[in-house]
Structure 1
């Protein structure tokens, strides 16, 4: 279980991640995952990140459910649920070093996408929801990263901001609940993992509180650059650590 300086650093990362997600709508795993993977085994780190995010998206759904339209998100949810068993299988059997490198590379790539606000034309059609839902769920179930992909899809539909937020939260909630059912089935849920999820909740709450204060005042373009810088730095740090261990 996280303790001492590791816990302090992890709580700060949880706080920063929640501030980022509460301000721009995604990025919690991008910030928290590379930090946790410095202290925890990849399987445990992935599940801890996903556990804390589950609490976050559940709170969003409860607060904003009036904006939810099932008809626009059901296809993504079906795709997401279909991907969960495959993702859990990958997570349970992947080599720890390979998993860390994969997570680092995905974080780095998504950091570049965030930095340059890259658009993906192929996700503009609503029919792409099932494919995007599948790929996102496969990614978050296996490596806890992938939110920007479905966020790009939601924004491409030109929905109002509140609808985007509620739709993404509902999709993630469905995918994460399915993932935890399969994590338990695969024997990946342990006492220390659940305790680590619990002790990071205060950082989540504090970060969301700060986000609610600054979301309307901050320059979104500058903030996006800052988030991308943090994300890319975290990815480089994780990849460097893994490569140095190989030397």
Structure 2
């Protein structure tokens, strides 16, 4: 159910599956995380790209991936050596501050520096916790819905592939995680298929507000999950 609802949200906003599904999966079976959610994170964007691939911002994607690569490596070491609780609280607070600041402005500067920084933070948190959407989503909040979804989809597909490779390298990708991720593809596909009405509704000038709301909720979930875990 968490993956199904998360797929609906991400199908409309461009991100959000991790914030809903990752905490639930971690509570049910922490041994399969973050590998299981990364399997889903890799697959869902492929469905978005099949519909909206022509809207990808390739230049911005390049900068984001440039920052994401070192962030992914650091995230892998965080999984092994650092408390993800501390990381979750820190990143959650940073996202809340960013949401508060950008909610008062018309847009966030979208340039090489901000995209690379967002990609780096997303790489660390996405690999370590399975929640990496808010940083890159905030940078793209002023873009049109199709461009946001297409660019984030390409970013998440490549990012999840990076994370899976790093998790396998540091021996944190057990077979159970891959099997669980594969089983969750069914509710993920169902969620994407019913997300069409949400996409059309948000594309009517409501995408930015939706991104800020999802990012804020994601930060609160990450903080709460990190404190209570």
TM-score by length of 1: 0.75
| Deviations 1:92-124, CA, capped at 9 Å, x for gaps | 223xxx424643674577578779973689950
Q: Separation in 1 of the partners of 2:106 and 2:198?
A: 31
Q: Separation in 2 of the partners of 1:141 and 1:160?
A: 27
Change (3 A) 1:237 1:163: closer
Question: How far did 1:224 drift?
Answer: 7.5
Change (3 A) 1:153 1:234: closer
Change (3 A) 1:131 1:238: closer
Residue of 93, 106, 109 corresponding to 1:124: 109
- Answer whether contact 1:30 1:107 (CA < 8 A) is retained: no
Q: Which residue of 1 aligns with 2:59?
A: 71
Q: Which residue of 2 aligns with 1:4?
A: none
Point out the structure with max Rg over C-alpha.
1
How many residues end up aligned between the 2 structures? 225
Q: Which residue of 1 aligns with 2:23?
A: 34
Using the TM superposition, name which of 111-120 and 133-142 deviates more: 111-120
Q: Which residue of 1 aligns with 2:179?
A: 195
Q: Please tell me whether residue 181 in structure 1 is matched to residue 165 in structure 2.
A: yes
TM-score by length of 2: 0.80
Question: How far did 1:185 drift?
Answer: 1.5
Unaligned runs of 5+ in 2: none
Question: How far did 1:189 drift?
Answer: 1.6
Q: Separation in 1 of the partners of 2:49 and 2:23?
A: 27
Residue of 131, 136, 152 corresponding to 1:168: 152
Q: Separation in 2 of the partners of 1:122 and 1:223?
A: 14
Q: Which residue of 2 aligns with 1:144?
A: 130
Q: Separation in 1 of the partners of 2:147 and 2:197?
A: 21
| Deviations 1:178-214, CA, capped at 9 Å, x for gaps | 1211111111221111111011111111211221134
Change (3 A) 1:132 1:109: closer
- Answer whether contact 2:89 2:227 (CA < 8 A) is retained: no
Change (3 A) 1:74 1:214: closer
| Deviations 1:144-197, CA, capped at 9 Å, x for gaps | 1131110111224xx332122111111222222112111111112211111110
CA-based RMSD of the aligned residues comes to 3.3
Change (3 A) 1:107 1:205: farther
Q: Which residue of 2 aligns with 1:83?
A: 71
Q: Separation in 1 of the partners of 2:194 and 2:97?
A: 25
Q: Which residue of 2 aligns with 1:15?
A: 4
- Answer whether contact 1:104 1:235 (CA < 8 A) is retained: yes
Q: Separation in 2 of the partners of 1:21 and 1:45?
A: 20
- Answer whether contact 2:134 2:218 (CA < 8 A) is retained: no
Question: How far did 1:51 drift?
Answer: 1.5
Using the TM superposition, name which of 166-175 and 99-108 deviates more: 99-108
Q: Which residue of 2 aligns with 1:9?
A: none
